[in-house]
Amino acid sequence: MNDWDDYRYFQAVIKNGGLSAAARELDVSQPTVGRRITAMEERLGQQLLERDGKYVRPTAYGLLLAKRITPLVETAFRLERELESFGQRDYPPVRLTATGGLATYWVPQVVAQLQLREPDLKVLLKPGNQLEDIHRGDADIAFRISGRKDTELIEKQIFALKNGLWASEKYLETYGVPSSQTDLSSHKLVAFNEAYMSMPAMESFASRAVSKNIVFRSDNVPVQAQAVQAGVGIGILPSYIATSLGLCRIRWEDSIPETEVSMLCHPEVLKNSHVNFLWHKFLQDGAGLMASLQA
């Protein structure tokens, strides 16, 4: 008899390109994934993966199987969720917390995409920068800038934000276009409060000669973006936000570091079927949407 859960394990291996990566997504051990794949091969009488040390490649049969089972696995997972919720359709929303930029320009778009397939999906979004929301139980899933590790939480890096130096057309017409670090010392700048100026992306504004020209500070990236759009000054902004506002990118001599973003959840909370569903959908659909926004 087939075990549908085995197909979910196999799909995770194909999607992630290896047993270890699949194990991390499924939150199980690598040997467990290996045993499930071996059991499938014995049951089907076909080799699904070619193993070369720690790397695996699907066989021709494995590729065919992966193509056929993907919609079936997704349907089975959705059916499982519906059966778990039968008679309890008015379940509470999944509580999300995200930094200002992600909460404004990314999370709503992901939720809108998911609701096309999951019309009963409900979320409660709280913009903010503090992990205490998770520890206090005020949020189920948090989207944060990667950095300080918290061993009590499950953390997955989902993408890296591309940053650039941006200004409004009106500002550049008035004050000119800087072409070097030295030029910045004569321009008005928009940036974070001091507590966040140590982030790698803010290196170009770190020197004393440049930082003295910061005329507008905010810990909220959308507020910074609005200030840049209004012509207050030049800002270092995520490209997906700046392009959506029609800002002008300034060609720069040095590359501006990317900002890594992680998704976090408490292990016990992730056992909830609705939270778990949204967790995996943000890993897949959310990351895919950000890739398209940054293309």
Whether 89 maps to a domain, the answer reads no
We report the CATH number of the domain holding residue 114 as 3.40.190.10
Domain end residue (candidates: 84, 103, 129): 84
Same domain flag for 16 and 71: yes
- According to the model, what pLDDT value does residue 79 have? 66
Asked if residue 106 has pLDDT above 90, the reply is yes
Same domain flag for 40 and 176:
no
Domain containing 12 — which CATH number? 1.10.10.10
Residue, of 213 and 133, whose pLDDT is higher: 213
pLDDT digits (tens, 9 = 90+) for 10-22: 888 888 888 888 8
Outline where DSSP puts E strands in the chain. Answer: 49-52, 55-58, 94-98, 123-127, 141-145, 154-161, 163-167, 189-191, 214-217, 234-238, 248-249, 259-265
Q: Are residues 197 and 121 part of one domain?
A: no
Average pLDDT of the chain is 86
Instruction: For residue 209, tell me if it sits in a domain.
Output: yes
Alpha-carbon 84 to chain mean position: 27
Task: Please answer whether residues 264 and 155 qualify as being in contact, where contact means their C-beta atoms are separated by less than 8 angstroms.
Answer: yes
Provide the token pair at 137.
């139980």
Both 148 and 265 in one domain: the answer is: yes
Indicate if the alpha-carbon torsion angle 188, 222, 140, 114 is positive or negative. negative
DSSP 161-214: E-EEEEE-HHHHHHH----SHHHHTTS-EEE--GGGTTSGGGGGG-SHHHHTTE
Residue pair 131/147 in contact (Cβ under 8 Å)? The answer is: no
> Which carries the bigger pLDDT value, residue 206 or residue 83?
206
Element (H, E) at 275: helix 273-281
Residue 17 belongs to a domain: yes
Q: Which domain holds residue 199?
A: 163-256
**pLDDT for the residue numbered 1:** 40
Q: Does the pLDDT at position 148 exceed 70?
A: no
How many whole angstroms separate alpha carbon 108 and alpha carbon 100? 12
Do 221 and 244 lie in a common domain? yes
Q: Is the pLDDT of residue 113 over 50?
A: yes
In a domain, 75, yes or no: yes
Q: What sign does the CA torsion over 241, 247, 250, 251 have?
A: positive
Nearest in space to 179 (alpha carbons), one of 167, 197, 163: 167
Residue 114's H or E segment, with its range, is helix 107-117
Q: Are residues 193 and 216 in the same domain?
A: yes
Considering 22-31, 36-45, 126-135, the range whose residues carry the highest mean pLDDT is 36-45
188 with 43, same domain? no
112 and 73, same structural domain?
Answer: no
Residue 57 lies in a domain: yes
Whether residue 268 is found in the same domain as residue 143: yes
Instruction: Give the CATH number, domain containing residue 250.
Output: 3.40.190.120
In a domain? residue 120 = yes
- Residues 243, 272, single domain; the answer is no
pLDDT of residue 257: 92
- Let me know if residue 275 belongs to a domain: yes
Q: Are residues 192 and 230 in the same domain?
A: yes
Strand partners, 265: 154
Q: Note whether 270 and 146 are same-domain residues.
A: yes
Q: Are strands 259-265 and 141-145 parallel, antiparallel or unpaired?
A: antiparallel
Range among 202-206, 233-237, 254-258 with highest mean pLDDT value: 233-237
Instruction: Report the pLDDT averaged over residues 132-137.
Output: 68
Q: Report the number of distinct structural domains present in the chain.
A: 3
pLDDT beyond 60 at 60: yes
Query: What is the pLDDT at residue 109?
Result: 95
CA angle 25, 85, 155 (to 5 degrees): 25
Asked if residues 251 and 183 have their Cβ atoms less than 8 Å apart, the reply is no
